[in-house]
Amino acid sequence: MRRSFKVGLFIFALLTLIYLVVCNPFVQRGVFYPFRYRVAVELYSKKYNVDKYLAIAVMKNESGFEPSALSHSGAVGLMQLMPETAEWIATQLDEEPLEDINRLYEPELNIRYGVWYLSDLEQEFDGNDVLALAAYNAGRGNVWHWIELYGWTHEFEDVEQIPFRETRDYVRRVLDSRLKYQTFYEAEEGG
């Protein structure tokens, strides 16, 4: 009886310690919400007028900060851009088309294009993060279809009404990640 009590007490103490470490803001920030590629994210977020915490949350959820990420649908790099979308972005930025699509694996280029694209979607949907994120994931055509079909306005906020489960879950995860990034990093910036 004494041995099982000691084992139980040890397990309780170990679980308590793990809980305290994992819930520690410094551990959460460093392990679960790192601000990778911060210089590039902040530079292009400022240049294209995008919330930097939204941009880093998109990157975290799109690729897990893996520059060599390639999705089953063919999306490439940190911000998971489709090659056709990247080509379109290059024309919108008055740049030469990408001769080598493998350049999308370059973090700086991928972040620049991804943040610009996020900015373009934010403008298209009047600053509505839910609609812009849904469009980033499911395509702007789908979002416009839903706006027409369901009568959504640019004030739409109910993530649960998004008809694609994958998109609904994606928007929820990105918004949650953005809130965590704001919580962990605004304090250091005095904001």
Catalytic residue among 62, 66, 84, 186: 62
89: domain CATH number?
A: 1.10.530.10
pLDDT the model gives residue 157: 97
**Structural domain includes residue 120:** yes
The answer to whether residues 17 and 71 belong to one domain is: no
CB 178 within 8 Å of CB 57: yes
Q: How many beta carbons lie within 10 A of that of residue 181, not counting itself?
A: 22
Indicate if 62 belongs to the active site: yes
**Structural domain includes residue 191:** no
The answer to whether residues 3 and 19 belong to one domain is: yes
The answer to whether residues 106 and 144 belong to one domain is: yes
The answer to whether residues 91 and 108 belong to one domain is: yes
Our count of domains for the chain comes to 2
Residue 15: give the domain boundaries: 1-32
At residue 190 the predicted structure's pLDDT band, cuts being 50, 70 and 90, is low
CB 177 within 8 Å of CB 33: yes
At residue 30 the predicted structure's pLDDT band, cuts being 50, 70 and 90, is low
Assess whether pLDDT exceeds 90 at residue 6. Answer: no
Kindly report, residue by residue over 65-81, the tens digit of the pLDDT.
999 999 999 999 999 99
